[in-house]
Amino acid sequence: MKTAVYPGSFDPVTNGHLDIINRSSKIVDKLIVAILNNSNKSPLFSLEERVEMLKLATSHLQNVEIATFSGLLVDFMSQANANIIVKGLRSVIDFEYEFQIALLNKVLDTNTETLFLMTNRNYSYISSSVVKDVAKYGGDLTGLLPEATIEIVKRKYKK
């Protein structure tokens, strides 16, 4: 069974992420979307909120699971019996960084393969950071975020 992990902060999950999830879940038997629980970063959304939004966004996909992890990604992967890391690439800026990380993960665990999917051009400009900015100033989130999560993101800024 081919199990892959799509790791990230998902603060929050965007339509760019969802596109990578949709496409990669068709390539593997099981896809685990793994949310990093990182105490060094200060995410806007709690781990529970990020899990909830990912569950809502991926409810149509039977072979996708949502999980959280802390520590090294390769350690989480060996516990999950997965050896494929899925990453999306939007630009050469992403590439420079992701190339380094892919090599590092390969050194940490030689069984690991990183599978890069090129972004869908419709979503190449989307990132969690720009979406948060739009949400903060009350802009229209349609098309940027999975439909099922828009209200959760808006609510965050109403508080």
Query: Which spans of this chain sit near ligand PNS (rule: CB under 6 A)?
Result: 7-9, 36, 72-73, 101, 104-105
Q: Are 66 and 55 contacting, i.e. CB atoms less than 8 angstroms apart? A: yes
Residue closer to ligand PNS by CB (options 104, 130) is 104
Q: Which residue is nearest to ligand PNS (CB)?
A: 8
Query: Choosing from 25, 50, 87, 128, which is the catalytic residue?
Result: 128
Residue closer to ligand PNS by CB (options 39, 142) is 39
CB of residue 158 vs ligand PNS: minimum separation in angstroms?
25
The dihedral over CA atoms of 134, 135, 141, 145, expressed in degrees to the nearest 10, equals 110
Q: d(Cα 142, Cα 17) in Å, to the nearest integer? A: 15
Residue closer to ligand PNS by CB (options 8, 146) is 8
Q: Are 73 and 87 contacting, i.e. CB atoms less than 8 angstroms apart? A: no
Tokens of 16: 């760019």
DSSP 8-state code for residue 141? -
Query: Choosing from 26, 39, 41, 42, which is the catalytic residue?
Result: 41
Return the active site residues. 17, 41, 90, 128
